[in-house]
Amino acid sequence: MRWGIAGHGDIVTRRALPALRALGEEPAVLWGRDAHRAARVAERYGVPRSGADPGVLLRGVDAVYVATPVAAHVPLAAAALDAGLPVLVEKPLAGGLGSPGLGGGDLGRGSGPAWRCAGVAYYRRLAPAVRRLRAELRGWTPERVEVRFRCAFAPGPDDPMRWRTDPAVSGGGVLADAGSHRVDLLLHLFGRPLEVSARLTDRFPAGAERRADLTLRWPHGPTARCVMAWGEGAPVDRLELHGGGRTVTLDPLDEGRLTGLDVRGGGRLAGRDTGGDGKTTGVGPSGAGQSPGLGPSGDGQPVGSGPSGEGPLTGLGPSGDGQPTGIGPGSDGRPTGRGPSGEGRVTGLDVRGGGRLAGLGRGEEGVSGAGSGALLLPPFANPHQTLFADFAEAVGEGRAPVCPLAEGRLVDDVIVAAGRSSAAGGRPTPLRCT
């Protein structure tokens, strides 16, 4: 397909463009608010057309990818959909700007092929460890879930990432940025929550919160406590599920280390099972129509210097590509440092009963041997390659991508409800009807 790309930051140059080229897709036009910068980036990365007129984004293309600051997500996506073009939007879709009167607008509801294929870039839903965790929940409902996230983010006056501190541009603080990925995983695992209680505190001068402490409750499921912070201290990125005398942990999230799994039956072998779909590759999603979870910072800003899950989690944290620090792909999409090499790749895998994502994953590795209940399911070298592969396949088949637009909107609903709850002193707040 020919792609129109909105945005020209590191998420585009380090992830999106290498991913599209690796898949044989054609980046046809690069749009940005700064025409000169868009032209420079387009020339450097071999994109034939560029411009600052939104119309250029929609001409002569088959699909649109939006990776701008959050405030521009909905207007650009709406323009693409109105033109009949399927669109993939970075996360969050609108964040707190999805609230009426805050300027982010709403895409409303539409029909037709473009709307059916529209999606949001929550790519972690495609992560092997997340799919394996979903399989674990088929026969087990936890009572309590805990999410913990922390990384450093303190941009100076001239830092290009400083716009994230202004909720009128970013849609919120740590909750909308890194937190949206983790919230999306909870919605992916448990569905739509009933209500949210939240306290958003320690704000930047521009208004975005550095700390988000929220509790989500499901009518017939667990209660989840999520504490997310931009702050000092060792980086943390952990998901824990408790219930029935068991604790299942994914820690660190972007290294794919799962412990506490049930390996006693059902054909599950520690170090080999992928989640009940009969595959032993750790690549194919076990649930059709589900979303890829967290994505870039949703803005086209420098990956590896940002505050979200793809930001500077030194030591344990990812380097901006879903990999542990020191593994991130370079501008050509090839892993650097100790990233996966050819011996760890699996190609041509069936991921959805007929679809194929080639060259995108690695198999599973037992952490401490069969029967241990522990698996190491490393993420993909460039998670945007799996994201774009799924999206292109969805467009070709006329189906929803792994994270449909409605599910991306649900994350925004949680962010908006959290803001209302915090303003009311942490009072439980129901999600709006969508």
**Beta-bridge partner residues of 6:** 31, 66
- Structure confidence by residue, pLDDT tens digits, 283-332: 333 333 333 333 333 333 333 333 333 333 223 333 333 333 332 333 33
Q: What is the pLDDT of residue 10?
A: 87
Q: What is the pLDDT of residue 263?
A: 66
- 336 belongs to a structural domain: no
Q: What is the pLDDT of residue 111?
A: 78
- 401 belongs to a structural domain: yes
- 249 belongs to a structural domain: no
- 341 belongs to a structural domain: no
Structure tokens that stand for 353 in this block: 């009963």
- 412 belongs to a structural domain: yes
| pTM attached to this predicted model | 0.79
3-state SS record for 155-169: CCCCCCCHHHHCHHH
- Structure confidence by residue, pLDDT tens digits, 112-148: 899 999 999 999 999 999 999 999 999 899 999 999 9
Number of domains into which the chain is organized = 1
Give the other-Cβ count within 10 Å of 381's Cβ.
27
**Which residues, 6 or more positions from 25, have their beta carbon under 8 angstroms from its beta carbon?**
1, 3, 388, 392
Contact yes or no for 346/362 (Cβ under 8 A): yes
- Domain extent, residue 115, equals 1-121+145-239+286-329+387-434
The one-character DSSP state at 293 is: B
Contact yes or no for 93/63 (Cβ under 8 A): no
- 166 belongs to a structural domain: yes
The ranges of the chain with pLDDT < 70 are: 99-106, 108, 263-372, 433-434
Size (the chain), residues: 434
Rounded Cα gap, residues 231 and 227, in angstroms? 12
**Among 248, 242, 296, 3, CA closest to 130:** 248
Q: In what order do the strands lie in the sheet with 63-66?
A: 49-51, 26-31, 2-6, 63-66, 87-89, 119-120
Rounded Cα gap, residues 399 and 114, in angstroms? 10
CA dihedral 138, 188, 396, 115 (to 10 degrees): 140
Contact yes or no for 179/297 (Cβ under 8 A): no
**Which CATH number covers residue 46?**
3.40.50.720
φ, ψ for residue 243, nearest 5 deg: 165, 150
Helix axes 180-190, 128-136, angle to 10 degrees: 40
- Residue 253 identity (one-letter amino acid): L
- 292 belongs to a structural domain: yes
Q: What is the pLDDT of residue 160?
A: 86
Rounded Cα gap, residues 207 and 195, in angstroms? 24
Contact yes or no for 121/87 (Cβ under 8 A): no
Q: b/e map of 129-163 (b: 16 or more CB within 10 Å)?
A: bbbbbbbbeeeeebeebbbbbbbbbebeeeeebbb
Rounded Cα gap, residues 254 and 261, in angstroms? 18
- 407 belongs to a structural domain: yes
